Amino acid sequence: MRSAAGQVFLLQVVIVVLLVVATVVGMILQAARDALQQGRRESVIAAQSFASAPGTAAALRSRDPSAVLQPRAEAARKRAGMDFVIVMSTTGIRYTYPYPGEIGKKFVGTIAPAVRGRTVVEQAGGPPLPAGRGTDVQAVVPVTDPRGTVVGLVSAGLTVRNVAALWLPQLPIILGSGVAALALATTGTTLVSRRLRRHTRGLSPVELARLYEHHDAVLHAVREGVLITDDDGRLLLANDEAARLLGLPEDVQGRPAEELGLPEPVMRLLSSPEAVTDEVYRAGNRLLAVNKRPTYPRDGRGGSVVTLRDTTELAAVSGRAEVARERLDLLYEAGVRIGTTLDVERTAQELAEVAAPQFADLVTVDLLDAVLRGWEPTAEGWRQLRRAAIGGAQRKIPVHPLGEVVTFSARSPQMRTLQEGRGVLEADLRQAHGWREQDPERSRTALESGLRSLVTVPLRPRHVALGVVSFYRTAGSPAFEPEDLAFAEELAVRAAVAIDNARRFTREHAMAVTLQRSLLPRGQPDQDALEVAWRYLPAEAGVGGDWFDVIPLPGARVALVMGDVVGRGLHAAATMGRLRTAVHNFAVLDLPVDEVLGNLDDLVVRMDDEERAGDAAGEHEGVGVTGATCLYAVYDPVVETCTMARAGHPEPVVVRPDGTVGCAGVPASAPLGLGGYPFETAELSLPEGSQLVLYTDGLVEDRAQDIDVGMERLRRALEGSGDRTPDETCQAVIDALKPSHSSDDIALLAARTRAFPPARVAEWDVPSDPALVPSVRAWCREALRTWGLEEAGFATELIVSELVTNAIRYGSPPVGVRLLHGRCLICEVSDGSGTSPRLRRAATTDEGGRGLFLVAQFAQRWGTRYTPRGKVIWAEQVLHDGTSAVPRLAPVDFLLDQFDPDEFDGPGS
pLDDT in tens, 210-264: 777 777 777 777 777 787 888 777 877 777 777 777 777 777 777 787 777 777 7
When pLDDT is cut at 50, 70 and 90, the band that residue 900 belongs to is: very low
When pLDDT is cut at 50, 70 and 90, the band that residue 726 belongs to is: very high
Q: For residues 137 and 827, what is the distance between their CA atoms, to the nearest angstrom?
A: 118
Q: What is the pLDDT of residue 10?
A: 81
Q: For residues 75 and 73, what is the distance between their CA atoms, to the nearest angstrom?
A: 5
Judge whether 351 and 389 are in contact, CB under 8 Å.
yes
More confident residue, 297 or 14: 14
Over residues 264-293, mean pLDDT: 77
Write the secondary structure of 272-340 as one string of H (helix), E (strand) and C (coil).
Answer: CCCCEEEEEEEECCEEEEEEEEECCCCCCCCCEEEEEEEHHHHHHHHHHHHHHHHHHHHHHHHHHHCCC
Share of the chain above pLDDT 70, in %: 86
More confident residue, 385 or 720: 385
pLDDT value at 800 more than 80 = yes
Hey, which of 196-210, 710-724, 833-847, 891-905 has the most confident mean pLDDT? 710-724
pLDDT value at 567 more than 90 = no
pLDDT value at 516 more than 70 = no
pLDDT value at 645 more than 90 = yes
Q: What is the pLDDT of residue 134?
A: 53
Q: What is the pLDDT of residue 634?
A: 95
Residues 25-69 have pLDDT tens digits of 887 777 777 777 877 888 888 888 888 888 888 888 888 888 888
Q: What is the pLDDT of residue 312?
A: 67
Q: What is the pLDDT of residue 532?
A: 93
Residues 586-595 have pLDDT tens digits of 988 888 999 9
pLDDT value at 505 more than 90 = no
Q: What is the pLDDT of residue 4?
A: 65
Over residues 92-109, mean pLDDT: 87
Q: For residues 427 and 452, what is the distance between their CA atoms, to the nearest angstrom?
A: 7
* Distance, first Cα to last Cα, the chain: 122
Q: For residues 495 and 338, what is the distance between their CA atoms, to the nearest angstrom?
A: 6
Q: What is the pLDDT of residue 588?
A: 85
Judge whether 860 and 876 are in contact, CB under 8 Å.
yes
Over residues 396-408, mean pLDDT: 85
Strand-pairing partners, residue 307, are 226, 291
pLDDT value at 853 more than 90 = no
Q: For residues 66 and 691, what is the distance between their CA atoms, to the nearest angstrom?
A: 119
Bridge-based pairing of strands 824-831 and 870-880 is antiparallel
pLDDT value at 542 more than 70 = no
Over residues 573-577, mean pLDDT: 80
- Give me the sheet containing 84-88, strands edge to edge: 84-88, 150-160, 135-144, 120-123
pLDDT value at 784 more than 90 = no
Residues 371-383 have pLDDT tens digits of 888 888 887 777 7
Q: What is the pLDDT of residue 845?
A: 47
Residues 175-219 have pLDDT tens digits of 787 788 878 878 877 777 777 777 676 666 677 777 777 777 777
When pLDDT is cut at 50, 70 and 90, the band that residue 316 belongs to is: low
Mean pLDDT of the chain: 81
Q: Residue type at 889?
A: L
Over residues 824-829, mean pLDDT: 90
